[in-house]
Structure 1
């Protein structure tokens, strides 16, 4: 036994179940973000050009704004 293994606690290896649950949770979070992004795009596309201009967006910037790619300082 090495000196290192003598002073460190025994750590159980991660189980397959834990790994699968973590992967499923990661996919679920990614899926809900996808749905939120598409809902935001749909809501912004419903606005007319005047209302988009009121919030500091052009129609061509809707997807970037919904994706969080816009500079928050630039948008009102």
Structure 2
């Protein structure tokens, strides 16, 4: 889990962790952190890559995923 001792990571930390797991498959990847959860943004070449990004964020387990707005192009 990325959050330790009650300290929540910033969006850049989450983005870096997901990108490292996906090998840069999501272009312009962004994580928007809101009080009630996360929103994913960016562009993916396949629906599979979009799902992998979603699962990578869910595995971090510190805030719920509100929306996966990654576009498949």
Shorter-chain TM range is under 0.3
Larger RCO: 1 or 2 (CA < 8 Å, sep 6+): 2
Work out which of the two has the higher radius of gyration on C-alpha atoms and give 1 or 2.
1
Higher helix fraction: Structure 1 or Structure 2? 1
TM-score normalized by the length of structure 2: 0.24
Higher strand fraction: Structure 1 or Structure 2? 2
